[in-house]
Structure 1
Amino acid sequence: MARFNRVYRLLVGKGGAKGLEIVPPIRLVFEITKDVNEEPNDHKIRLYNLSPATRKSLEEPGLRCVLYAGYAEEGGPLLMASGSVVFAYTKFDPPDVVTELIVKDGYTEVRDTAVSIGLGQGALASAIIRDIARQMGLSLVMADDIPDRTWVNGFSFYGAARTALHKVTQGTGLEWSIQNQQLQVLQRGGTTRRQAVVLAVDTGLLGHPERVREAAQEKAKSKGKPADGAADSASAHQERDGWSVKSLLLPMINPGDLVKLESRTVEAFQRVEKVQHKGDSETGDWQTELSLVDRYAPPKKKG
């Protein structure tokens, strides 16, 4: 499936103020990495031969950026990544002058937000999560039918938003991450409600899927006693079967999404664990690398 007309749009600025818009023919190289962990996603964006004034503007503190990319034949540039510019620098690599942006998704919200929560008896985990998202200033992506639980004695907390989120989600069988400046909350091991993307040869699948198996362990460890009687997730090990696949750029896919893998060796629904988008506006293919795990659907427990 030929896709030659690659397009991108990079917006950089502070808050709601109008900032810079960078578009072709400026050369842009991107390395976008996303996963389902609680740590902010890391992205690298390199821009070539900008004017001195533009380079200076990009090195100001407190900037945010949004990157759209895709193919003109398929809807034009689509949202692929966003976040805070945590570091920007320019290096001279004759004949080019290269400006690199290090971007972290949700970095400012995770680093700086302290929340104050005081909900009485019978507080629901879903209500606590909504309150945390509001105080972080992030929109919330959370299905209505995810597991919930009642905090019988109420919920009181003051401190880092990320600590509160970890406490509530771990005690409820949920997981959280920040994707494109949105707080995403899923059933642990579950998927978003976005329509599944089909990964097949005629939709951009490259080569053959590679079968993988890994020993998975929850990375998040709680200090002291588990929240409100929750099991210590750090001790939960499981073997996960999955696939490693490559495709032409699929900017709309995020960790936690459901995809349907169709090839000569496999046809199955899979959950996206990790996404890597890589590309250069001047050379080579724009590609997406996906780490997938088999999607099992055990009966949901009602809280």
Structure 2
Amino acid sequence: MPPHPRVGTLFGEWRIEECLGDGVVWSTYRARRFGERSVLRILSHDAAKNAGARDRFLEVRGVVERVGHAGPVQVRETGESKDGEPFVHFEFVPGHTLASALREASVQLPAGVRSIERRPPTPPKMDAERALTVIDEVLDCLAAAHERGVLHRDVRLETIFLASEGGVKIGNLGMVRILDAAKVFVRGAPAFLAPEQAMGLVDQLDARADLFGVGAVLHTLVTGQPLHPGETEIEALVAAATKPANPVSRLGYGVPGAVSDIIERSLEWDRRNRYEDAREMQSAIRNALVAVSGERATDV
């Protein structure tokens, strides 16, 4: 495949090194300026014609700053190029997404990660204690966002980063608002969607949809299996919109009871039965972490 036409070119003072994604609304690149690295996102020409999408794109920095938490991937700069292209520079996070951490058997894990098991043909999964620690950090970030009226709406393995220096970062905060303004209906990754989101009921979404996504991420980490398996994205999307999640405690994955209880509650079909907010779910995660750590100590 030939390289993307922007690769190797300059965007202002930044040299574009790699195309990370080329979408309808924006394209994402890895860029470098002298010794500094950045993730550069450029709004498409067509999307930039939409004043609402353009404004929201350039407002992303304000959304992230309003959250006031170190967890979101930070915005370093926003603006327009001399050619009128709106852009956002995000901090570059050395490390791996949860998706790549599970894919790569030889991944160099950040400090504190005990193990990612690989037992072919069983898909890789993460140690339950480490998974709970990651989710605790995710929820801390989401709680800060929700308390300031910001929903994520795109919680999945690919938007959660294990930083090489330690800690967890969350990408794409505030980006789904741009798709709304651009009239681009993107539901997200089917395996992590709450049923109301999979059905396209945007007006009904609240913090509990994000918590469903967190539960689906935790499910995938500790079982190695997606919540809505399907051969195609459409099959998985239909399942997300029509089929309640199977209780993980009945699937035979050996997930500790304290963890399966959290997964099952966060994945309730009726959102009224899910955790009310991220702080409540985080409290349950921390209690489960104590229980799982105690079980590990007993087994030693």
Q: TM-score band (shorter)?
A: under 0.3
Q: Give the number of the structure whose residues are more often helix, by fraction.
A: 2
Find the structure with the greater CA-based Rg: 1
User: Which one has the bigger strand percentage?
Assistant: 1
Give the TM-score normalised by the residue count of structure 1.
Answer: 0.26
TM-score normalised according to structure 2 size: 0.26
